[in-house]
Amino acid sequence: MQEIIKKPRGTKDILPKESFMWQNLENLAQSVLSSFGYGKISTPIFEDTILFQRGIGQATDIVNKEMYTFRDQGNRSLTLRPEGTAGAIRALIENRLYNNTINRLWYIGPMFRYERPQNGRQRQFNQLGIECIGSNDPLADFEVIYVAIQILTVLKVKDLKLEINSIGGFNEREEYLLALKTFLNQYKDKLDEDSLFKLALNPLRIFDSKNSTVQEILKDAPLLSKFLNDDSKKHFHILCSYLEASGIEYSINPRLVRGLDYYTYTAFEIKSNSLGAQDTVCGGGRYNNLVEQLSGPNLPAVGWGMGIERLLLIINQSNDQSNILDFYIAPLDEEAKLISLIVSNQLQQKGFNIEMDFTFTKIQKQIQRASRKMAKACIIIGQNEVANNFISIKWLKSGKQSTIDLNSLDKIKVIYLNELSIYYKS
C-alpha cells in the first residue's frame, strides 16, 4: 500500500468544528472594524520578492531566513506573503487609494514564514490586520490600539498586557545605532553568528534575538529612549495620555523594537498571560517611511497584525462554543424522504439549523447520532407519520416526545422556545 500523504510541516487543517469559531471571530472583528470606518482589502497571497525585501528590510529574520521564495515558470522571483502590511501598501499605491483623506484598511488571511513549528508558531498561519494611513497624529496611534482592544474585548479575551515603546525616527536611530554598535563591539566574542550578522547589517535587530546570552548582554545596552528628540517624546507622551484618559492599562517596555525595519516612533505588542513562550497576540506600530520607500507619496501610517491561531488558543481555553444544531431529521425509510426534505426546508426558512440523516436505519440509531451531534431534538418521520401527515419530535434533553401536524408547523417555534426555557430552568 502507498504511504498516506500528510500536510506539510507547520501547517494545520481547519476542520468544520473549528470553522465556526473562525467565522464567528471574523464576523465579530468585522463589525468592530466597520464601526470604526475600516474597509476590507484582499491582496494576492504571493507578491514580487522585491516588495518584501524593500519593505520589511534585508536584516530582518523574516526576509533573511523565513521567506517562502520561488521562481515561477517565467523565471520571476515570487514570495508567499510573510505579513500583510507590505501588500496592503503596494495595493494602496498601485490603486491610488490616497486622496487627502485617511485610509482605513483591514485584512485577514494566511501568511507564510519558514520557522520552527511550535505551539502558537506555524509555517502557514493567519493574521487579522489593520492599517490607518495618512495621519501622523498620536490620535491615529491611539485609534489602532483602541480598535485592537475593542476586538479582543468583544471576543472576550481576558488577561492581556499592552506594552508600548517609542523607537523614534530614522535620524534619531542613526545616532543610537552608533552607540549600540560601540557597546556590542565589546561583546563580539560572546555573540552568536546570527547576532554578528545583524551587528554588521542593522544592530537594532539584535533585540529580536531569542538567544538568552544575547538578551543578557542587551540588559546593559544603551536605551533608544535616551536618543529621542523632543518631537518623538511629545508624540509618545500624548499617546500615553490618550490611553490613560480612556482607562487602557499599559506598560512601557524600552526594549520593544518589533521584528520589522519599517517601524518608526510608536511600537506596541499585546501579550496574553495564558499563552506560553509564544505570548504575543498582536504586534504593530507606526511606519512613517514605508509608503515612500515603496515609491508612493510621503504618507505616515500606523497599524497592527494579530495572530488568529494564537487568539483561538486563548479563546478555546476560556469558552467552548460550537455551532448549534436545532433539529436532526431522521427519515426511517425511503417513503419518508420527500416529506423529510420538505420539513427540513420549512424549518430552515424559519431560521433553524438542521441536519438530515441519510441512512434510513432504526430510530434508536438515528436518535443516538442526533445526541452525539448535540441536536436539540430529533425529528422522526416514519410510515405512520407519512400516512397521517405529521412529524414526531423527540426532545433530547428532557426525553419528551410530541407530534405536530404538518399543517401547523408554524407552531414549532413556540414549542421549541418552551422546551429551551425548560432546559434553562432545570
> Which C-beta is closer to ligand ATP: that of 224 or that of 336?
224
Scanning 113-121, 153-161, 199-207, 350-358 for contacts with ligand ATP by CB under 6 A, the matching segment is: 113-121
> Which C-beta is closer to ligand ATP: that of 12 or that of 369?
12
> Which C-beta is closer to ligand ATP: that of 118 or that of 359?
118
Give the residue, chosen from 305, 312, 370, 375, that forms a contact with ligand ATP under the rule CB under 6 A.
Answer: 305
Which three cell numbers mark 22?
473562525
User: Of residues 196-215, which lie at the interface with ligand ATP (CB under 6 A)?
Assistant: none
Per DSSP, the residues of 207-251 read: GG---HHHHHHHTTSPPGGGG--HHHHHHHHHHHHHHHHTT---E
Scanning 12-20, 29-37, 93-101, 273-281 for contacts with ligand ATP by CB under 6 A, the matching segment is: 273-281
Reference 255, options 282, 228, 215; nearest CA is 215
Give the residue, chosen from 283, 300, 303, 331, that forms a contact with ligand ATP under the rule CB under 6 A.
Answer: 283
How far apart are the C-alpha atoms of 371 and 377, rounded to whole Å? 8
Residue 22, C-beta contacts closer than 8 angstroms, at least 6 positions apart: 14, 308, 312
Give the residue, chosen from 278, 323, 346, 371, that forms a contact with ligand ATP under the rule CB under 6 A.
Answer: 278
How far apart are the C-alpha atoms of 50 and 56, rounded to whole Å? 10
How near is the Cβ of 275 to ligand ATP at its closest, in Å? 9
Assign 268 to helix, strand or coil. Answer: strand
> Which C-beta is closer to ligand ATP: that of 210 or that of 425?
210
Give the residue, chosen from 38, 43, 53, 83, that forms a contact with ligand ATP under the rule CB under 6 A.
Answer: 83
How far apart are the C-alpha atoms of 349 and 343, rounded to whole Å? 10
Could you give the C-alpha distances from 369 to 337, 373, 409, in angstroms and in order?
Answer: 18, 6, 24
Residues in binding contact with ligand ATP, number by CB under 6 A? 18
Helix-helix angle 138-154:230-245, to 10 degrees: 40
How near is the Cβ of 210 to ligand ATP at its closest, in Å? 8
Give the residue, chosen from 55, 169, 307, 331, that forms a contact with ligand ATP under the rule CB under 6 A.
Answer: 307
Assign 331 to helix, strand or coil. Answer: strand
Report the residue closest to ligand ATP, judged by CB.
307
Give the residue, chosen from 309, 326, 385, 419, that forms a contact with ligand ATP under the rule CB under 6 A.
Answer: 309
Residue with the three cell numbers 491610488: 96
How near is the Cβ of 209 to ligand ATP at its closest, in Å? 11
> Which C-beta is closer to ligand ATP: that of 281 or that of 367?
281
Scanning 100-108, 116-124, 133-141, 389-397 for contacts with ligand ATP by CB under 6 A, the matching segment is: 116-124
**144 and 284 Cβ atoms separated by less than 8 Å:** yes
How far apart are the C-alpha atoms of 126 and 397, rounded to whole Å? 38
Give the residue, chosen from 52, 106, 107, 125, that forms a contact with ligand ATP under the rule CB under 6 A.
Answer: 125
How near is the Cβ of 354 to ligand ATP at its closest, in Å? 36
Which three cell numbers mark 2?
502507498
User: Of residues 232-271, which lie at the interface with ligand ATP (CB under 6 A)?
Assistant: 259
Could you give the C-alpha distances from 66 to 48, 58, 82, 244, in angstroms and in order?
Answer: 16, 11, 8, 37
How near is the Cβ of 258 to ligand ATP at its closest, in Å? 6
Scanning 45-53, 118-126, 324-332, 397-405 for contacts with ligand ATP by CB under 6 A, the matching segment is: 118-126
> Which C-beta is closer to ligand ATP: that of 206 or that of 377?
206
Mode of pairing for the β-strands spanning 390-395 and 46-48 = unpaired
Sheet architecture: strand order including 68-71: 46-48, 77-80, 68-71
Asked whether position 87 contacts ligand ATP by CB under 6 A, the answer is: no
Per DSSP, the residues of 54-94 read: HHH-TTSHIIIII-EEEE-TT--EEEE-S-SHHHHHHHHHH
Q: Which residues pair with 70 in a beta bridge?
A: 78
Binding site for ligand ATP (CB under 6 A): 83, 113, 115, 120-122, 125, 127, 259, 278, 280-283, 305, 307, 309-310
